[in-house]
Amino acid sequence: MVDRQDALLAQMRRGTLQYCVLALLGSDELYGFDLVRRLAGVDGMLTSEGTIYPLLARLRRDGLVESNWQESSSGPPRRYYHLTDAGRAALEDFRREWGRFRDAVDTVIEGRGRP
């Protein structure tokens, strides 16, 4: 039962996590550890912290995010991420589509189908 629930969450997370990352970066410039901490605060968003980094590598490769080094007051310099214009556009597309998609799913699973 728990397994099935985990699998379901994993599947839903797979398609949406990258947009959650884009959304977080849309309002703030963040470094990896920070990003993980914010996602970990939201139930079910992140299973293991390390998996954020392959995702960031992919987003960077696709040109949706960029990173730059910044000095930190405590410890070594940090790699901060921010959205590119393409990243911002991808996030906007997702926001719009997600709203429609969520409404469509709600309509079906809550039985609010048209007569």
Partner 1 sequence: MSATADRLVAHYLKRLNRELRDVPRGSRREIVEEIEEHIAEGRAGLGEEDVTAVRVLLARVGEPEEIAADARQRLGLPPRGHGAREAFALIGLLIGGLAFVVGWFAGLALLWKSNAWTTREKLVGTLVVPGGLLPAFLLLGLGATQCGGGYENELTGPVEQNCTVTFSLPGQVLWTALLAVCVVGPFFTTIFLARRMRRPAAVDYQPSPGSA
DSSP letters spanning 59-104: HHHTTSEEEEEE--SSSS-EEEEEE-HHHHHHHHHHHHHHHHHHHH
Min separation Cβ 103 and partner 1, Å: 20
- Does position 70 interact with partner 1 (CB under 8 A)? The reply is no
30 membership: H or E segment, kind and range: strand 30-31
- What would the x/- binding string for partner 1 be over residues 25 to 64, using CB under 8 A? -------xx--x----------xxxxx-xxxxxx-xxxxx
Interface positions with partner 1 (CB under 8 A): 10, 14-15, 18, 32-33, 36, 47-51, 53-58, 60-64, 74-76, 78-79, 86, 89-90, 93-94
